[in-house]
Amino acid sequence: MTLPKSLWLVGAGNMGGAMLRGWIAAGLSPAAVTVVDPGAPTVPEGVNLIPAPAGQAPEVIVLAVKPQMLDAVAPTLAGVRPALLLSILAGVEEAALETRITAESVVRAMPNLPVAIGKGVTALHAAKSTDQARAIAEALVLPLGKVEWIGDEAMFDAVTALSGCGPGFVFRFIDALAAAGASLGLPADQAARLALATVEGSAAMAAGAGESPATLADRVASPGGSTREGLNVLDRGDALQALMKATLAASRQRNAELAAAARN
């Protein structure tokens, strides 16, 4: 699969900028990219930066602004018809995009922040796009990490809550693990290093294991041991499961609210 010959990145904030760095590292020519962003973000050398859309329509437009900015940005793209519109706007459905921006094909994408280091996961959905557009979309996100195609757009809010928002929840867990270590008397900086290295190593081990994380947890926890005592706290009344379900449900609900606003 080949990367596009011309691409506009509309919005180069945290996620858009992370994707851009990943594309350049994967071999996309900086000269092929135009960043459209009035905020004048820092972009890789050779990338064109303009405050508003101008010039000939590109092969691909990647829409990476905040969902609430869609109606402000869409009119600036009037008359521009790319082969592919790739949108990472949380909660904004394909139909809502099609009513505002003209493109031969529309693909929704939900990347997460680790795409910045090539360790992300990006969910893709396209109901009516061409095979070529799907191939281009996949070629753009493959260098950024894992790719998952979602067949039912109704599931996109759940995907966003799980993998799109998930890094924020993991970061919070790392911080809480470190704080708990510090509460036992460890120096705060040492507790932070230990927590981070523990999560990093455990995630790598889980990714390479043939067993489920639940099985790995039970293997670590010998009967009557210290790990088992700690797991008993997390498992009591399904406390951790309930907390994560409530966390993801809140994120999914917010995505649904964004979708409803975009429909109107």
238 within domain boundaries:
yes
Q: Are residues 176 and 242 in the same domain?
A: yes
Q: Are residues 171 and 246 in the same domain?
A: yes
Confirm if 97 and 106 have CB atoms less than 8 A apart: yes
Q: Are residues 97 and 131 in the same domain?
A: yes
Q: Are residues 139 and 202 in the same domain?
A: no
pLDDT at 65: 94
264 within domain boundaries:
no
Q: Per-residue confidence of the chain (264 residues) as pLDDT tens digits?
A: 578 889 999 999 889 998 998 888 888 899 999 999 998 888 999 999 999 888 888 999 999 999 989 999 999 998 899 999 999 998 899 999 999 999 999 999 999 999 988 999 999 999 888 899 999 999 999 999 999 999 999 999 999 999 999 999 999 999 999 999 999 999 999 999 999 999 999 999 999 999 999 999 999 998 899 999 999 999 999 999 999 999 999 999 998 898 888 887
For residue 112, give the CATH number of its domain: 3.40.50.720
Q: Are residues 140 and 190 in the same domain?
A: no
In angstroms, the first-to-last Cα distance of the chain is: 37
pTM of the model: 0.89
159 within domain boundaries:
no
DSSP string, 1-32: ----S-EEEE--SHHHHHHHHHHHHTT--GGG
Q: Which residue has the tokens 């594309």?
A: 23
Q: How many domains does the chain have?
A: 2
Q: Are residues 113 and 184 in the same domain?
A: no
1 within domain boundaries:
no
156 within domain boundaries:
no
Written as six digits, the tokens of 16 are 């858009």
Q: Are residues 129 and 193 in the same domain?
A: no
pLDDT at 1: 55
Question: Which residue range is the domain that position 226 belongs to?
Answer: 166-256
pLDDT at 112: 94
Nearest to 77 by CA among 96, 92, 55: 55
pLDDT at 163: 95
126 within domain boundaries:
yes
Written as six digits, the tokens of 75 are 């009119």
For residue 184, give the CATH number of its domain: 1.10.3730.10
Helices 188-208, 166-183: axis angle to 10 degrees equals 130
